[in-house]
Structure 1
Amino acid sequence: MKPLYRLYARILRRQLAGLPMPQHVAIAMDGNRRWARGAGYDDVRIGHRFGAEHLELFLQWCSDAGIRCVTAWVASADNIRRRDSAEVDYLMELTETVVADHVRRDHRWRLHVAGQLDLLPDSTARALKEAVEETRDRPGAGELTIAIGYSGRLEVLDAVRAVLDEAAASGRSVAEVAESLSEDEISRHLYVPGLPDPDLVIRTSGELRMSDFLLWQATRSEIEFCELYWPAFREVDLLRALRTYGRRRLERFS
């Protein structure tokens, strides 16, 4: 790490002192393909490899900053359905060999998975489920959610379906469900219930939209859009996002 970069990182950490910090940070890791093209790679899958490996660094930075809950968007349901099959297969392989394996080794995190696992290859779904089980009993660990095969709209739809299925099993009528339906009841049926909503959502690559990411959970979140492609995202960019978050919260609630 270059001396000027280290100095700047220290300055940013000092500026965070006394500012409110997010409990839960969500990251939309966008721009792997464009980063690969810009770096001169003909095969855009190289960008996915750099992106998957970069998540390990991001989790280290979050842990160092005291962030105890992270949600990382690996692949949307639309991307899995529509992207070139060879590219999707490679991304799934990376999910098994880089993401799941890293979480097994990194005892600072307990893994959760959000998304439609039936969209994934059997080997990928199995690797993620095994990693969830292996990391379940880690006292004091932070909470890491991998969003894969994920759609915010489908998550809400699946939650409503689960509420109706539960009501039917207990003999409640549709009218009774409609009368008692609440935000809390839908939240209890989301893919990963019980976690705090994200305080801060970061999206890389310069796109100024949420793109179906955490639509239910992020209604009150601070949103930070970063121009950098995901593999180029640095610790100082996270620290700046945390500084912006803290200053916004101070202004809003002071």
Structure 2
Amino acid sequence: MERELPDGLSADQLPEHVAFIMDGNGRWAKKRVMNRVKGHEKGAGAVRTVVESCTKFGIPYLTLYAFSTENWQRPKKEVDALMGLLTRFLRNEKAQLVKNGVRLTAIGELHRLPEEVRRELDLAMEATRHNERLTLCLALSYGSRSELVAAVQGIADEVSQGRLRAADVDEEMVSQHLFTRGIPDPDLVIRTSGEMRLSNFLLWQCAYSEIFFTETLWPDFNESEFASILMDFQARERRYGKVLQS
């Protein structure tokens, strides 16, 4: 399918994988004297926007930090509302994901999610598993440190059972034991709302990612700003620790 690129974007310099730390839903609601849940509901619209933008631009991988392991510590009422919103999103967006060629996957401690969420997630992933236009990865009940601990435990278990030598452990092997195995590392990480930290998100995978922080609150994020950030990305020199030849 032909790409639809805004003026100024080069098709051959687009990132293969963009990851978002979606932040600012609560502040968006507070500014409008609304319940925080209203901010999360409004934020679902920005999710649709970036998914549609990636399919239009031809970006093949998109990861959204939707719910962290730390988010379980929020008030139960808010957590329950978020889980309900996630359930409705998965149920209501499934047909559109299929139509647009989006394959849904998820990473994190998924066993901690409520049964209804897991059921809708499984149904959406099954319905979209053959799609190839965009892989949408939802980070749910996700924390990078717990992911790394699980990877180390898995490798240690293989060593203890004699299936692997400690000397064989390298960066590629660690990557293959992460939740994200099979997904390329993000080229670009975007965080909204002005906060300047990764907040336990893809710490191994983001070693050489370009990072962009925007003051825009997540519910206000739109395709125009996304295109502007991608133009900024295309203007950067990615050296990976090397010196580029002039």
**1:61 paired residue among 20, 42, 53:** 53
Q: Are 1:19 and 1:250, in contact at CA under 8 Å, matched by a contact in 2?
A: no
- Does the C-alpha gap of structure 1 residues 18 and 25 become closer, same or farther in structure 2, counting only changes over 3 Å? closer
CA contact (8 A) 1:111 1:143 kept: yes
Q: Which position in structure 1 is the counterpart of 2:192? A: 204
- Amino acid corresponding to residue 102 of structure 1 in structure 2: E
Residue 123 (structure 2) aligns with = 130
Identity of aligned residues (%): 37
1:195–1:100 CA distance, 2 compared to 1 (3 A) = farther
Aligned to 1:172: 162
Match of 1:94 in 2: 85
Alignment partner, residue 76 of structure 1: 68
Q: Does 1:159 align with 2:145?
A: no
Change (3 A) 1:119 1:40: same
The amino acid that maps onto 1:106 is L
SS at match of 2:106: strand
Cα distance, 1:99 vs structure 2: 3.7
Q: 1:244 aligns with which of 222, 225, 232?
A: 232
Cα offsets for 1:37-61 (capped at 9, x unmatched): 11221x1110111112320111111
Partner of 2:209 in structure 1?
221
* Structure 2 counterpart of 1:48, from 40, 49, 53: 40
Is the 8 Å Cα contact of residues 159 and 166 (structure 2) preserved in structure 1? no
Query: Does structure 2 retain, via aligned residues, the 8 Å contact 1:31–1:205?
Result: yes
Structure that is richer in helix per residue: 1
CA gap of 1:121–1:40, structure 2 versus 1, over 3 A, is same
Aligned length: 237
Q: Offset at 1:119?
A: 2.0
Distance 1:250 1:153 in 2: 26
Structure 2: unaligned runs, 5 residues or longer: none
Gaps of 5+ in 1: 1-9
Alignment CA distance shift 1:195-1:85 (3 Å): same
